[in-house]
Chains A and B, each alone.
Chain A
Amino acid sequence: MSLLIENLHANVDGTEILKGLSLEIPKGEVHAIMGPNGSGKSTLSKVLAGHDDYEVTAGSATMDGEDLFELEVDERSRAGLFLAFQYPAEVPGVSNANFLRAARQARLPKGEEIDAVKFYHEMYEKMDILEMDRKFTARAVNEGFSGGEKKRNEILQMMMLDPKYCLLDETDSGLDIDALKVVAKGVNEMRSADRGFLVITHYQRLLDYIEPDHVHVMSAGQIVKSGDKSLALELEANGYDFLKEEVAA
């Protein structure tokens, strides 16, 4: 049981961004991807979640054996994939509560109605973990939210939708240390033997709070190096300059 990516190639506007990327995230593990800006980290997450801007030209991605590329965006989500966006969209007029409710409703068989009382109870419980104000449920999705509030909201959605595989795209960027701890608390709460995580980050700071089982370095659309947590510390100390030498070598 894993999220399995093999020899993935993908284009944006005709330019190849992912150039034969392979990675396996078994259930129960947390993998981190680090890499310089522009190396294709967000592209990888969008290609997995599905987005019209990205064209897969070769390779495969399966989730517990199911071909992701055969599914539409909404189907992938319902199948158990979750992407916490680097830049979440704002949806004016739609309250957070209604939004989450619709997302939960979408997972029920036709004709079955969500239990509203249970839903609110659960939502408040998760919001407490993420230290979110109750008033937040009535606010429009991400509208006028600070960067930190948006990221917390992504994690709340992740907690409410109970996915099998979670992709977190730079959830740490733009967060102060307190917000970072809260977000990490949410993620750690969800770690379990039957869930896999791919945590994309630019800084190793996040990995102090969400301890990864494996760390991968991405450069120019490929995984160029893999290791354990110490690789993140190494990157922190020496930066990404080594990539140029290694690639050149």
Chain B
Amino acid sequence: MSAVLAEEKPSVTTNFPDWYQKLRAKAESTYAQLNWPTRKDENWRFGSYKNANLEDVNIAHGGANAPLPEPALEGAVRFVFHNNELIATEGSLPEGVVAGPLADVLRDHGDSLSQNFPSLQGKLGSPKLAALHRAKCEGGFAIQLKTACDTPIEIVHLISGNDVTLPYTLIIGADQAKGTILERFMSANEDDQTTVVSVSDLIAQDNTQLRYLVSQELNAKSQFIRLADSKLGKHSNTKSGSVHIGSAWAREETYSTVNGEESTSEILSVTIPTTGQEYDQRTFQHHGAPHTNSDLLFKNTLFGKGKTVFSGLIFVDEKAHYTDAYQTCRNLFMSDEAEANSMPGLEINADQVKCSHGSTSARVSDEEIYYLCSRGIAPTNARRIIAQGFSADVIEKFEDKALETFALNRIEAKFSAVE
């Protein structure tokens, strides 16, 4: 066993290598030049653009002691952060896997990255937030998989206080890498009004198979913003996605780029909003090379006055012939007062392309409920079983029993809480 784990005390600013400090300084000036989103922003249509204005906020780093949540995945290596400060590591990583604070990983293993570190995100509406994030994020976490890693990696972000927390996660899968990563966002207290702006970059080089699930379980007063980029090389398969059951408002911008032939990016999401919750998701499936595939499946189950926004675009470059790209957003209404806005889209500039996109909205069907009742299942339970089945369908696409069990438990807990 050789693992690069975190030091006792987390690194702070001074520990970043010079090249990275320069990127941060550049982000600082970019931040100053950009504007916050406005009502007219097409990327914020139907969305609560004002929530993204983080002018003059305090950035949190570290927090008081908080009890650790139960591990989510059996046998996982676990890293627990409290307001971006590493407070616990459990388990050990196999040979060929590096994981730890971003500064350490960049200093010790980041030479190859200095030339092509992921560029700033925010193309789907939040460039200013992306710049703020890079400029102000003092922590960050990086995982480098250089081989097949059977041990799942679990990252937990405990969040407390009323400031803004800026977690960053960098995942790099080198040639032949395989791995499963779960990242959870949880509130340490029920009453804090936290804002989390989380950024992640997933770089899948050739012949990789990565699974990456984000579980957003923040308290009902929090705000959550996530900017998630992924880039795939050749012959790779990535299953990445999120489950949103917490926070009052969550905004997620997912930008998937497939630049290598015979690669597939699967993008998955389950959200379950109820009264007082809004989930706003913007996605971009970018095909930059021939023979590339992407498949997006988002399912929202809306209770009470829950609200969702989905806006997605499949974009096929001129040279990206023989692309297969799919995009589906489905809304299941558990109440008449919920609101779902769907804006699917595609732009195809190549030939021999198979694409489809669509969104559907339906009420939970009386006929289905009746059928379950006719077999002795009580009506409230019948509704829940149907709704759970609707979400489970997405989770099963991860094809990972442990992730599946975890996610289905979270989903079940949410259903028990809302009905």
A-B pairs with beta carbons under 8 A, tally:
75
Of A91, A92, A141, most B-chain CB atoms within 10 Å = A91
Smallest beta-carbon distance B412→chain A, Å: 12
CB pair B379 A74 closer than 8 Å = yes
Residue B12, interface by CB 8 Å: no
CA distance in complex: A26, B8 (Å): 77
CB pair A77 B373 closer than 8 Å = yes
Contacts of A94 in B (CB 8 A): 385-386, 388-389
Smallest beta-carbon distance A167→chain B, Å: 11
A:162-216 near B, CB below 8 Å: none
Residue B46, interface by CB 8 Å: no
The verdict on A77 contacting B368 (CB below 8 Å), with A93-B389, A93-B392, A106-B381 known, is no
Residue B67, interface by CB 8 Å: no
CB pair B370 A91 closer than 8 Å = no
Residue B378, interface by CB 8 Å: yes
Contacts of B368 in A (CB 8 A): 89-91
Residue B90, interface by CB 8 Å: no
Of A50, A93, A95, A161, most B-chain CB atoms within 10 Å = A93
CB pair B377 A102 closer than 8 Å = yes
- Give the interface size class of chain B: 20 to 34
Smallest beta-carbon distance A49→chain B, Å: 6
CB pair B374 A73 closer than 8 Å = yes
B:349-402 near A, CB below 8 Å: 365, 367-368, 370-379, 381-382, 385-386, 388-393
CB pair A89 B370 closer than 8 Å = yes
Of A95, A141, A161, most B-chain CB atoms within 10 Å = A141
Smallest beta-carbon distance B210→chain A, Å: 26
Contacts of A89 in B (CB 8 A): 365, 367-368, 370-371
CA distance in complex: A102, B373 (Å): 11
CA distance in complex: A93, B364 (Å): 12
Contacts of A102 in B (CB 8 A): 372, 377, 381, 385
Smallest beta-carbon distance A99→chain B, Å: 7
Contacts of B391 in A (CB 8 A): 93
Please report whether the interface of chain A is mostly helix, strand, loop or mixed according to DSSP: mixed
Smallest beta-carbon distance A218→chain B, Å: 22
Contacts of B370 in A (CB 8 A): 51, 73, 89
CA distance in complex: A15, B385 (Å): 35
Residue A23, interface by CB 8 Å: no
Residue A235, interface by CB 8 Å: no
Residue A229, interface by CB 8 Å: no
CB pair A88 B371 closer than 8 Å = yes
Please report whether the interface of chain B is mostly helix, strand, loop or mixed according to DSSP: helix
CB pair B390 A92 closer than 8 Å = yes
Residue A103, interface by CB 8 Å: yes
CA distance in complex: A88, B375 (Å): 12
Smallest beta-carbon distance B318→chain A, Å: 38
Contacts of B371 in A (CB 8 A): 85, 88-89, 91, 141
Number of A interface residues in the complex (CB < 8 A): 28
- Interface 1/0s, chain A 51-90, versus B by CB < 8 A? 1000000000000000000001110011000010100111
Residue A140, interface by CB 8 Å: yes
Q: Which of A77, A85, A90, A140 contacts B376 (CB 8 A)?
A: A77
CB pair A161 B376 closer than 8 Å = yes
Residue A157, interface by CB 8 Å: yes
CB pair B393 A99 closer than 8 Å = no
CB pair A83 B393 closer than 8 Å = no
Smallest beta-carbon distance A152→chain B, Å: 16
Q: Which of A73, A107, A161 contacts B373 (CB 8 A)?
A: A73
CA distance in complex: A77, B386 (Å): 19
Contacts of A91 in B (CB 8 A): 368, 371-372, 386, 389
CB pair A106 B377 closer than 8 Å = yes
CA distance in complex: A161, B377 (Å): 12
The verdict on A77 contacting B389 (CB below 8 Å), with A89-B367, A89-B368, A106-B381 known, is no
CA distance in complex: A72, B372 (Å): 13
Smallest beta-carbon distance B64→chain A, Å: 38
CA distance in complex: A83, B375 (Å): 9
Smallest beta-carbon distance B292→chain A, Å: 29
CB pair B367 A103 closer than 8 Å = no
- Interface 1/0s, chain B 4-19, versus A by CB < 8 A? 0000000000000000
Residue A37, interface by CB 8 Å: no
The verdict on A107 contacting B386 (CB below 8 Å), with A51-B370, A89-B367, A89-B368 known, is no
Smallest beta-carbon distance A87→chain B, Å: 10
Contacts of A140 in B (CB 8 A): 389
Residue A230, interface by CB 8 Å: no
CA distance in complex: A71, B382 (Å): 17
CA distance in complex: A93, B384 (Å): 12
CA distance in complex: A49, B372 (Å): 12
CB pair A157 B375 closer than 8 Å = yes
When C-beta atoms are compared, the residue in chain A nearest to B378 turns out to be A74
Contacts of A7 in B (CB 8 A): none
Residue A146, interface by CB 8 Å: no
- Interface 1/0s, chain A 224-248, versus B by CB < 8 A? 0000000000000000000000000
CA distance in complex: A187, B174 (Å): 59
Contacts of B388 in A (CB 8 A): 93-94
Smallest beta-carbon distance A82→chain B, Å: 8
- Interface 1/0s, chain A 93-120, versus B by CB < 8 A? 1110011001100110000000000000
Known: A93-B388, A93-B393, A106-B377. 8 other contacts (CB 8 A): A74-B377, A77-B374, A77-B376, A88-B371, A92-B390, A94-B385, A98-B385, A106-B375
7 contacts between A and B (CB under 8 A): A50-B374, A74-B378, A77-B376, A91-B371, A91-B389, A94-B385, A99-B375
Closest 9 CB pairs of A and B: A93-B389, A94-B389, A77-B376, A89-B371, A103-B375, A78-B376, A74-B373, A73-B373, A106-B376
B residues near A (Cβ < 8 Å) are 365, 367-368, 370-379, 381-382, 385-386, 388-393
